[in-house]
Amino acid sequence: MTQPLIAVEHLNHAFVEAGSAKQVLTDINLAVHAGEIVILTGPSGSGKTTLLTMLGGLRAAQSGSLRILGQELLQAQRPTLTRLRRQAGFIFQAHNLLPYLDALANVRLGLEVHDDWLAQGRAAMDQRAAAVLAQVGLSDRASYYPDKLSGGQKQRVAIARALAASPKLLLADEPTAALDRESGRDAVDLFRRLADQERSAIVMVTHDNKVLDIADRIINLEGGRLVTAGG
């Protein structure tokens, strides 16, 4: 079997609060291969979002091993983390759209961090951004600024931005929370296509029972520990 795109071994993480350490993740072991969708579930405060941010190099690993796309992140330097972030797509509960850019330009940002897309030029990037907006049903909102979009439309723009460059790693935190049933299903169908066609690894945190069937595996976190792994 090929090497996993995500390989986590004996990962531990703690936050320091009022001078004392609060353990958030304890002895996490997880492997996610190319083309696989893994859903993280568990109660609020169980460590799901913390783990997700660590997989994307947004939070430093403290102990254990965290190999993402072949790169060890434990004690990794800033350039290494920056390269990883540019190879990953992120979808957060807060859409994080730039208010002074229209929907098309917000999606284009997902391409402008890639040298190969920059080399193709603005017209090619705009064409790709428009195509991905069409995939999330927002062709008619390309020129709209975030303050003219509904919450669900903003989230769909954020999804389009994350998918635009066909990332090898997609990390999504409650990506369907602001979407109605049909839009949520359309979004996760795009994730499935990314995994199947581009052989991307996808890790998604969700409480949306309507999309659990998209997963190859469902992993439960409880009290910072991986308690079950299905599949």
The one-letter code for the residue type at 42 is G
Q: What is the pLDDT of residue 1?
A: 60
User: DSSP state, 3?
Assistant: P
This prediction's pTM: 0.89
Q: At residue 130, what are phi and psi to the nearest 5 degrees?
A: -65, -40
Q: What does the pLDDT average to over 95-124?
A: 93
- Rounded Cα gap, residues 99 and 165, in angstroms: 21
**Domains of the chain, CATH where assigned:** 6-229 (3.40.50.300)
Is residue 10 within 8 A of residue 1, CB to CB? The reply is no
**Tens-digit pLDDT profile for residues 72-90:** 988 888 888 888 888 899 9
Tell me the DSSP string of 59-122.
S---EEEEEETTEE-TT--HHHHHHHHHHEEEE-SS----TTS-HHHHHHHHHHT-HHHHHH-H
User: DSSP state, 4?
Assistant: P
pLDDT greater than 90 at residue 60: no
**Tens-digit pLDDT profile for residues 190-226:** 999 999 999 999 999 998 888 899 999 999 999 889 8
